[in-house]
């Protein structure tokens, strides 16, 4: 992977970006740092903090991401092997929506409080 510098394309591009290495949000300026794989795949913008921390920092992020991605892939494969054992029909979903008529609480906080009190599971 190489990190290249280039002039940002337009003012519209100078907005909040998500770093393709660490996922932090940052404000893109008139210069962009782009991560590009050796096979030419554009990964995206690299934030100033990752650029400042350097190549080892970026390699460390990529190694951690690779481990998490592999873990997620194994977990997804296990879930796929389980198959779907039960699934309502759309008619059952529509009947449930009609039966309930609305959510249990107005806010997440009210719902969370009810869960803490053991009133909702």
Residues at the contact surface with Zn ion, assessed by CB under 5 A: 19, 21-22, 24, 47, 50
The smaller minimum CB distance to Zn ion, of residues 24 and 27, is found at 24
For the bound state, the minimum distance from the C-beta of residue 64 to Zn ion, rounded and expressed in Å, comes to: 13
Torsion sign (Cα): 111, 117, 120, 121: positive
In the complex, least distance from residue 20 CB atom to Zn ion, rounded to whole angstroms: 8
List, edge to edge, every strand of the sheet that includes 31-36. 2-7, 31-36, 42-45
Q: Identify which of residues 4 and 24 has a Cβ nearer to Zn ion in the complex.
A: 24
63 or 112, CB closer to Zn ion?
A: 63
**Min. distance of Cβ 31 from Zn ion in angstroms?**
15
Give the E-state strand segments of the chain in sequence order: 2-7, 16-18, 25-27, 31-36, 42-45
């Amino acid at each position: 992977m190489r990190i290249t510098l280039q002039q940002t394309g337009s003012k519209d591009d100078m907005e909040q970006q998500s770093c393709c290495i660490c996922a932090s949000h940052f404000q893109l300026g008139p210069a962009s740092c782009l991560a590009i794989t050796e096979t030419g795949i554009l990964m995206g913008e690299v934030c100033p903090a990752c650029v400042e921390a350097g190549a080892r920092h970026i390699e460390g992020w990529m190694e951690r991401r690779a481990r998490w991605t592999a873990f997620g892939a194994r977990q997804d494969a296990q879930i796929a092997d389980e198959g779907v054992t039960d699934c309502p029909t759309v008619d059952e979903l529509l009947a449930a929506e009609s039966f309930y008529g609305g959510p249990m609480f107005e806010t997440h906080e009210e719902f969370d409080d009810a869960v803490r009190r053991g009133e909702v599971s």
